[in-house]
Amino acid sequence: MPPKSNRAIERVFRRALPAWYRRAARDLPWRRTRDPYAIVVSEFMLQQTQVARVLEYWPRFLKRYPTIERLARAKRAAVREAWDGLGYYRRAANLHRLARVVVREYDGRVPDDPEELEKLPGVGHYTAGAVACFAYERSAATVDTNVGRVLGRVFGVSGEKKLIALHRALQPRRGTSAWTFNQAVMELGALVCRARKPRCEICPVSGACRWYAASRSA
């Protein structure tokens, strides 16, 4: 039986998840850098593309445009060509516009504040939080589909606002801990708590999960 109170669930969730992440997470190259520009590129690519494909395109794109200044100076057709094969070309156009805005208005430095980030082309609430956290190790909401599903199942919560509030309450305030926590929830959603056929039998938080408890008693 899972712990009854939300507080007990939170404790298990906070403790078990980072430990599992350190043991089981994939070694993805954008997790090895804190370069804000490189993180922005990875987040734009990952918006609608599978990780395996981004692994191929991300280094290639950064080789062609190693800095935000180089991307800002590029011709639109060249950026479109560098994106060729990834699809959803609006992302390439937005990324290009973002680079120009950052160079022109932020002196080439990607902002670290989620509210400021959200003003940039192509940056929504999730991407703003992801860049703030994964590049600058700021405590920020990173609730995408995977994270929403994990939190929804474990805590029995639904609705975007409630999920974001829950995520904010759960994540550590300290930078590196917030970084690890946010990556860990996302990784759990990608590898274990999948939309179809979640792998509850190997899940590090199954002992605290309401969804799992309900499915077992059913």
The footprint of ligand SF4 (CB under 6 A) covers 150, 153-154, 192-193, 198-200, 203, 205-206, 209, 211-212
Q: Which two tokens stand for residue 212?
A: 């799992």
Q: Please state, in angstroms and rounded to a whole number, the distance separating the CA atoms of residues 25 and 117.
A: 27
Q: How far is the CB of 9 from ligand SF4 (least distance, A)?
A: 11
- Which of 180, 76, 97 lies closest to 188, judged by CA? 180
Q: How far is the CB of 150 from ligand SF4 (least distance, A)?
A: 5
Q: Which helix (H) or strand (E) holds 10?
A: helix 6-24
Q: For residues 108 and 156, which CB has a smaller minimum distance to ligand SF4 in the complex?
A: 156
Please give the positions annotated as active site: 43
Q: Which two tokens stand for residue 31?
A: 């997790």
Q: Please state, in angstroms and rounded to a whole number, the distance separating the CA atoms of residues 97 and 16.
A: 40
Does residue 126 contact residue 181 with C-beta atoms inside 8 Å? no
Q: For residues 49 and 182, which CB has a smaller minimum distance to ligand SF4 in the complex?
A: 182
Does residue 146 contact residue 196 with C-beta atoms inside 8 Å? no
Q: How far is the CB of 153 from ligand SF4 (least distance, A)?
A: 4
Q: For residues 171 and 206, which CB has a smaller minimum distance to ligand SF4 in the complex?
A: 206
Q: Please state, in angstroms and rounded to a whole number, the distance separating the CA atoms of residues 149 and 155.
A: 10
Single-letter residue type at 204: P
Q: For residues 109 and 216, which CB has a smaller minimum distance to ligand SF4 in the complex?
A: 216
Q: Please state, in angstroms and rounded to a whole number, the distance separating the CA atoms of residues 4 and 23.
A: 27
